[in-house]
């Protein structure tokens, strides 16, 4: 019974902030440099949802693209992205505490 509950808890839909956090964490954990395709795979999103989030992250200035000498595209975190990860728990606490 508890295992089923835990399974459903794990399977629940992630909210927006959680998805953003997960994507940024993947990038950071991959030495702050990852290609778009593995990032899509690790983020566990459909390609459509991934591209929506990716655009959002770029617009917010949390990630940036780097093209190396061989013209390969990499995604890295910006300072703002690192700050987001650093402050994530505080942000969640704030949202929860103020009922937002």
Count of residues touching another protein (by CB under 8 A)? 18
HSE-CB of 79 using CA atoms within 13 angstroms = 0
95 binds another protein (CB under 8 A): yes
**49, 55, 60, 73: residue in contact with another protein (rule CB under 8 A):** 60
Backbone φ and ψ of 14, nearest 5°: -75, 145
12 binds another protein (CB under 8 A): no
CA 57 to chain centre: 8
- For binding to another protein (CB under 8 A), which residues are involved? 17, 20, 60, 62, 80, 83-84, 87, 90-91, 93-100
């Amino acid at each position: 019974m508890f295992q089923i509950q835990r399974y459903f808890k794990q399977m629940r839909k992630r909210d927006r902030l959680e998805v953003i956090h997960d994507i940024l964490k993947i990038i950071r954990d991959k030495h702050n440099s990852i290609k778009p395709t593995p990032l899509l795979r690790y983020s566990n999103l459909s390609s459509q949802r991934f591209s929506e989030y990716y655009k959002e992250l770029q617009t917010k200035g949390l990630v940036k693209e780097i093209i190396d000498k061989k013209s390969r595209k990499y995604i890295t975190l910006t300072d703002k992205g690192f700050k987001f990860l650093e402050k994530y728990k505080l942000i969640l606490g704030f949202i929860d505490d103020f009922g937002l």
